[in-house]
A = this chain, B = another copy of it.
Amino acid sequence: MSSSTETDYKFEGWAGLTADACKGEMSFQSFEPKKWDEDDVDVRIQYCGICGSDVSALSGEWGPVDKVAPQICGHEIVGEVVKVGKAVENDLKVGDIVGIGAQSDSCRECESCKNGEENFCTKQTITFNAPYNRGSAASAGSVSRGGFAKYWRGPSRFAISVPSTMDPASAAPLFCGGVTVFSPLSEYGAGTTAKNVGVIGIGGLGHFAVQFASKMGAEVTAISRGENKKEDAIKLGATKYIATGGDVKRGIEGHQRSLDLIICTINPEELPIHDYLPLLRPHGYFILVGVVPKPLAIPAFSLILANIKVGGSNIGSPAIIRKMLDFAAAHDIGTKKSPSKYIQKYNMNDINKALPDFRDGKPRFRFVLVNTDNGGKL
């Protein structure tokens, strides 16, 4: 009972086979998609953002690359629905433009799934290199395949419609990078209870955070190492800019107790978190969205003194993604009328140039790969 306008597509993509994948060694090849379940959709991929964790996985930071090869990464996917199962969710139809973020499945049975917070499900499947734990895909041992490919197949619950006014290329990086910062800004009241918001790191997720927080009505302080992101940060909506010059303790002088919420988008080997905490007002939140490798070292006293909280935030549920897209559409963030100036596009065929550039720190903000033969526009 599936409906489809196109049936002769093949699942092919750019696979990482060794830890040299990001050095220009991605290999175009066919792959086994998820075993079909009737709540699935197939999507013709037009755009896929590159996110730090793709590069981490493909570089062997998450374990030997060849053990889970071929790795089809990419988890900021936007494309057109070409097939829907008879148990499709989200009212999806063939021809719809949808996006898929970092999560592709969840158990549907736990408290979190039932609450519509699938991103906390302990049996979830992330969008690349992970086993499916549900349905025929589980029994078949299907592994999730991401968006560095021509087609994507997965559970329709995690394929979210892109509003028609949105620019699909600009929307792609919102599905992981965007929602990862939108979620805590929303949870901790940016613009309402948190009038003053700080954003640490502006180049990657940070630029979304500055944009969203300012549109939510917050006064935004952008915090970066150097001065080179200042002009962009102000354009994005920040009203203050702190350049720490690498010495956080000194850099924040004069700004103590000025912020209600800090979103930390950087993840250096070791984060001098203690030096940032004096920026917070009493009751303030310091929220990490990137996995800092070394454990945070936090003196209890620095939390107790002014009821400070240090926390983390994990992507966003389908419901939060939907909320973010509606917010972006309503506030003209990445719409067709004003597409993002903060993405740099590469033809997906040039992935072996794009990934090395990404690894070398070349993206000032966000990279998006484009499948021109699937209708994506450079």
Contacts and interface: CB of A to CB of B under 8 A. Distances in A.
Interface residues of A, number: 39
Contacts of A267: 300
Nearest to A300: B292
A378 interface: no
Contact of A312 (B112, B290, B308): B308
Contacts of A302: 312
A297 B300 contact: no
Interface in A267-323: 267, 271, 274, 281-283, 285, 288-292, 295-314
A306 B274 CA distance: 22
A291 B314 contact: no
A231 interface: no
A306 B111 CA distance: 13
B306 A295 contact: no
Contacts of A312: 300-305, 307-308
Contacts of A111: 257, 281
Contacts of A306: 120, 314
A187 interface: yes
A296 B304 CA distance: 12
B310 A310 contact: yes
Contacts of A288: 300, 303-304
A290 to B, nearest CB: 7
A326 interface: no
A117 B305 CA distance: 12
Interface string A218-234: 00000000000000000
Interface of A: 111-112, 117, 120, 184, 187, 257, 267, 271, 274, 281-283, 285, 288-292, 295-314
